Structure 1
């Protein structure tokens, strides 16, 4: 049987070498970025929430200058890397940490905002709604801003929102919160997918027309799950639920755009396929360790969360690791992943279009094909 080889390393080498032109020099339609979701894209909102909310304290953020940034990784997270590919310095600021004049800048259409909250989910019951910002709460914050939005001439509010990218990441925490039987799982997963589309509909009703969605990764292969498996392998039962959710999301959203969201342009990035390929072909993807966490404690360094008592960060090159902690990837993982769903073939790494097409991004060089090939 032919062995599949992931060619993402080629794109990563080109990225490091600077062959891609700077995103800031390219033409694009994205004016600002709005971010919603969980710890994969939270840049510090949880720092301003009750102490029970998940916190990304040191050594999280140790590869960025200064104090911990509230990002659940060693450096920049997915929201940052997406923003950088669009030509911004990093993700827009965490909404909860904004001063009043910065929130006014959001309402004047000058800047975007990051509303994401680590530990939150699609469902209101995920993550203890009184301790994190649920997806519904995040959208309510955004609605409050749009209700008071007054763009300066010649910018029009409707056009401003239509030319903004809405980045969403959710689902993993909802799946972790499921405590029913496997017989109840299909109904639960269907509720997740249905509710997610309702959230997207709410953003559409507020003016969103360009949406980038990060689907659920193979959570059954995270170090935290492996640590609980006697053989240390992936939990394929958990992965099957993740795949089921991803499939339902695609089907439901495709139907909804036809019936209720005319003019919505979207791309669903396949975190699932990208990370699966990296795990199956670590050397080709540029990693030395794809099972064990870099930061944490216990088996697979994943029985205790990074930054908790009796945990340490690895002293190796952090870029050699796929996972930073029991759940989250390293900055290097996110950099490679973003290249894949921006420029990779559809529908393998993004569908129905990739992110580059979604934002009408014109690159000055031909991006390499990122796909699976067979090694006979």
Structure 2
């Protein structure tokens, strides 16, 4: 890495470290679980191993993934914890949630992680690389968990006090619309129309989640997907730091979130949907993100080479592989999702305040 880039990246990491130390010291309180249970929906950004038993290329259950995670390579696309893991710690969980595919009857009362790498809002998204659980499938899995809780005679009414995180949508662009060799969406829709169709389906899925009892729901926006090492290498950047066409698509999608949240909350007086603005958190004042190489050696377009040795100074890397953030980046995102530093970080509530509202 050129000297000036290493220096700039180091400054960014120091900022992240400061945020991490300050927030961890302030908000993780041992012995205080702030919600009765916690449920996670999404893609590889929050997956904890649901794809491990599938016939799929969307897997990370091998080293060097998990090099900094207590249980090793569980299926998380990171060197350590995901944003959802860290939020779970903030809200007082003393253990990480089980994946849906392995959750026992004793575990499901605390919550379940349904997230699946490669999946999207649309059913076909990510299908070119094999098995994954789409958001619709994750909702069906959640329905089955609720039925299990009912059969076990657990108090289903507590669901309305539980915390829900949904982090999805990136693959509907990277592994659908901008992959015309596998999908026809870019031939059927221009980008503005595609975003409208996508958000309409997402809105319907979130209404389904509400009907199943969810009330406190944090919706994560997309980051600047055109600035990942994967996108910079794969797509034409025309000499600019990022693939702007992908970032424009993410921006169009993100701009739909506030109206979506308002609509969901206004239609249902007890709904507490909230929007986590990841772009604001990672790129304040529209800062141009630095080019930052992956920490691990890459096989193909984005994944770590199995058994390879990752970079030793992982705190100096924004990305672990060519698509997914390092644990340090996840800490920075999770801390400000939990307790907003700037008004644009979360709308209308950050998670710190959301979990304290009682129905």
TM-score range, shorter chain: 0.7 to 0.9
Q: Is 1:203 aligned with 2:203?
A: no
Distance 1:256 1:315 in 2: 44
Partner of 1:45: 50
Structure 1 residues 250, 324: CA separation in 2 closer, same or farther (over 3 Å shift)?
same
Q: How many residues are treated as equivalent by the alignment? A: 334
Quickly say closer, same or farther: Cα 1:358–1:65, change in 2 above 3 A: closer
- Give CA deviations for 1:259-293 in whole Å, capped at 9, x if unaligned: 2x3311122111122222499488xxxxxx75211
Structure 1: gaps spanning 5 or more residues? 283-288, 362-376
What corresponds to 2:183 in structure 1? none
Distance 1:243 1:173 in 2: 15
SS of the aligned residue for 1:47 comes to: coil
Residue 307 (structure 1) aligns with? 304
Give the match for residue 125 of structure 2: 126
| Residue of structure 2 equivalent to 1:274 | 281
Q: Contact 1:296/1:326 (CA < 8 Å) preserved in 2? A: no
What's the CA shift string for 1:88-123, capped at 9, x where partnerless?
Answer: 13431001123xxx13652xxx22111110000111
Equivalent residue for 1:60?
65
Please report how far the alpha carbon of residue 21 of structure 1 lies from its aligned counterpart in structure 2 after TM superposition: 5.0
Give the deviation of 1:319 after TM superposition: 1.4
Please provide the CA RMSD for this pair. Answer: 2.9
Answer yes or no: is the 8 Å Cα contact 1:216–1:246 preserved in 2: yes
Following TM superposition, by how much is the alpha carbon of 1:248 offset from its aligned partner in structure 2, in angstroms? Answer: 1.1
TM norm structure 2: 0.84
Q: 1:323 to 1:313 in 2, by over 3 A?
A: farther
Cα shift at 1:207: 0.6
Deviation at residue 348 of structure 1 after TM alignment: 1.4
C-alpha displacement at 1:190, in angstroms? Answer: 1.1
TM-score, length of structure 1 as denominator length = 0.80
Q: What's 2:195 paired with?
A: 189
- Rate the CA distance shift 1:74–1:97 in 2: closer, same or farther, 3 A: same
Q: Unaligned stretches of 5+ in structure 2?
A: 1-10, 181-185
SS across alignment from 1:34: strand
Could you say which residue in structure 2 is the equivalent of 1:350? Answer: 346
| Structure 1 segments of 4+ aligned residues over 6 angstroms from their partners | none
Post-superposition shift, 1:9? 5.4
